[in-house]
Structure 1
Amino acid sequence: MALNLFSRKQAEAPPAIEAATLRSDRFRLERQSDWQRLESIVTALEKNRPGRIADDDLLELPVLYRKAASSLAVARETSLDAATLAYLESLVRRAWFQVYGPRTGFLRWLRSFFGGGWSAAVRDLWLDICIALAVMVAGTLVGWLLVAGDNEWYYRLVPDSMAGGRHPGASPEMLAQSLEGTEGAEGLTVFAASLFSNNSGVCILAFALGFAFGIPTLLLLVHNMAMLGAMLWLFHQGGLGFDFAAWLSVHGTTELFAILLAGAAGLHIGRSMAFPGELSIMDAAAASGRRAAVVMVGCVLMLVIAGLLEGYARQLVQTSEARLTIGLVMLAFWLAYFLLMPRRAMGAKVDPA
């Protein structure tokens, strides 16, 4: 035992430090039973033998850890002997990992994430999702009505880089040509990568702006959806409303879902900061941020899938009916996953410090 080792070292100490040794001995003797009990529990857990630990000992593990941490703090303040200090530092470090450290490897974390952790985190944000959805629908209607009332609004809402020749006054033939696919996949990899970069930027911004009490997140959602509403009006005027909706749905049901979740995650943080309850604003932001971060990890995955669908499936599939089928299948898949997947909490724990 490590305790016996540093006891022998203390016995060999010169007379000049005998008083300090006696003080250290008294400190150690008063607490060593708890340290030894904690060490035996930690050793069993490190060897993956929890069955050898009594139920009472397992329940006492957090308490014993706190006592050892307190003893370490006292040992540092009173400058006890180096052996006792080294022993306590090692014991507290090992015990912290067993009490607060992550329990799972990466593959097990992935199984927990996809097996219910992600969907549970999304369902926890149901109120924020409802708010974000209402704002997105309102933004789409605003964009439609603004452009319907004055075509000049189209140029304010839709940047030239995204318009691509699709503007008020364009012929139905030109608009239809912009929806046509391609028979080959050459060059689509770069296109898909650029789309993923753009869409991920919108999601990250919607999430990050939540720390300003969610107000910028709402404005960003309104602006982006107003742009979509303007384009919906344009194609509807050209008699291509169904074709544009089908063209958009291939990736849009996944991409817009990801933007919805990212916006809801940002709103969740902003709402918790505006109404922290009994917590401080920073504690409320930290708690909601951990929950929202799980949602954002999934949003990145959804954007990867949306980028592939937009860069490949939407370009290679030629008919509106087939495109709409792909979009509806993806929407059904996401709804089924988020609504029907059994709840399972993520396994990692967080250092309370």
Structure 2
Amino acid sequence: MIIDLPRFVETEKVYWDELQKLLQEIEAEPGRHMPLVEIQRLHYLYERCSADLARLNTFSTEPRLQAYLESLVSRAYSEIHETRAPLRIRWKSLVLAFPRAFRRHLGAFRLSVGITLLGCAFGWFVMRQDPQSKAVLMPFSGLMVSPAERVAQEESAKVDRLKGRKATFSAELMSNNIRVTILAMAAGITWGAGTVVVLFSNGVSLGAVAADYVGGGQSTFLAAWLLPHGSTEIPAILLGGQAGFILAGALIGWGSHRSRAERFRLVGGDLFAIVAGAACLLVWAGMMEAFVSQYHQPVIPYGLKIGFGVCELVALGAFLGWAGRE
């Protein structure tokens, strides 16, 4: 039996083109999750094209068309039965999952920023109104001296106090900051109340430090000290707060008809991506604090440190705002 080839191609080509387009989308973004309807359609098109190839092999001698269909069916078979993507592709998908998850929950991030700013305002106000509260508000004892005295000590230092222990100091900073970020996320299990406390407390400390140094006329020193590491450390803690509010939202389920277990499944991937991304930022922040932030003028000019910190912040904003967009 010889098939009517022109009519056969006219009838079936629409399915070949659809399968070709679907395979190109999968290959362009291998890490994306396909909905069930799309998976079923892929399987149907694969079976239909396989049947078309079998008919061509049996009833027609058209080598170029057979080669095209063999390639199409082979690609579809590989996508359906593949169990492990190339490592390079998987890393790309993991990196892009972070900014995509961030953008899907901007409301939670804005809430995190708002509560931290409220804490900053409170810390600033209390510090300005009652300087004696410094002992309570400052996050560590090294800030108890007056700003002018500390700046004079730092700028006149002749010995590198971190010599031989920068890596250890950096690791300690990373560990502590990652612990705070994970705490901000995990505290979301308290319906978000714990996350609010963590963010507000961090904001109070930051506001108090800023009020002390700005009030002492040391704004430039403050910016040069905080920006190299703070431009990634502070956003990372805010991201931890964002994750905490996402978790709280899934727990509470405002206006959702889904079960609690289903709500947790829906946000689980985004929570992992955000917290993992924040942890990476904190690793970088720990290195910057140990190797850059702790060195002041004349070792590293203030302008250079401030400029570097601003560039970090702009780069992070661009990455979170634009990376992975379709």
Question: 5+ residue gaps in structure 2?
Answer: 1-39, 47-79
Q: Moved runs in structure 1, 4+ residues, more than 4 A? A: 178-185
1:112, distance to aligned residue in structure 2 (A): 1.2
2:132 pairs with one of 117, 141, 152:
152
- Counterpart of 1:194? 172
Provide Cα deviations, 1:88-138, integer angstroms capped at 9, x if missing partner: xxxxxxxxxx68x96535442211122x22211111111111111111111
Q: How does 1:201-216 map to 2 (within 5 A)?
A: 201-216=179-194
Provide Cα deviations, 1:69-89, integer angstroms capped at 9, x if missing partner: xxxxxxxxxxxxxxxxxxxxx
- Counterpart of 2:243? 265
1:187, distance to aligned residue in structure 2 (A): 1.9
1:265, distance to aligned residue in structure 2 (A): 1.0
- Are 2:199 and 1:218 equivalent residues in the alignment? no
- Counterpart of 1:25? none
1:147, distance to aligned residue in structure 2 (A): 1.6
Q: Give identity over the alignment, percent.
A: 26
Q: Distance in 2 between matches of 1:301 and 1:137?
A: 24
Relative to structure 1, the CA distance from residue 278 to residue 163 in structure 2 (aligned partners, 3 Å threshold; closer, same or farther) is same
Look up the equivalent residue of 2:153 and give its one-letter code. Q
Look up the equivalent residue of 1:173 and give its one-letter code. E
Look up the equivalent residue of 2:267 and give its one-letter code. S
Q: Distance in 2 between matches of 1:157 and 1:286?
A: 39
1:295 pairs with one of 269, 274, 277:
274
Relative to structure 1, the CA distance from residue 283 to residue 244 in structure 2 (aligned partners, 3 Å threshold; closer, same or farther) is same
Look up the equivalent residue of 1:212 and give its one-letter code. T
- Counterpart of 2:105? 125
1:110 pairs with one of 61, 67, 91:
91
Q: Distance in 1 between matches of 2:156 and 2:234?
A: 22
2:283 pairs with one of 301, 304, 310:
304
Alpha-carbon contact 2:147-2:212 (below 8 Å) kept: no
1:273, distance to aligned residue in structure 2 (A): 1.9
- Are 2:324 and 1:324 equivalent residues in the alignment? no
Look up the equivalent residue of 1:283 and give its one-letter code. E
Provide Cα deviations, 1:145-184, integer angstroms capped at 9, x if missing partner: 112122233222224xx231x226x261334425778768
Q: Distance in 1 between matches of 2:300 and 2:253?
A: 50
- Counterpart of 2:144? 167
User: Computing the radius of gyration over CA atoms, which structure comes out larger, 1 or 2?
Assistant: 1
Residue-pair matches, total? 249
| TM-score when normalising by structure 2 | 0.69
Alpha-carbon contact 2:224-2:293 (below 8 Å) kept: no
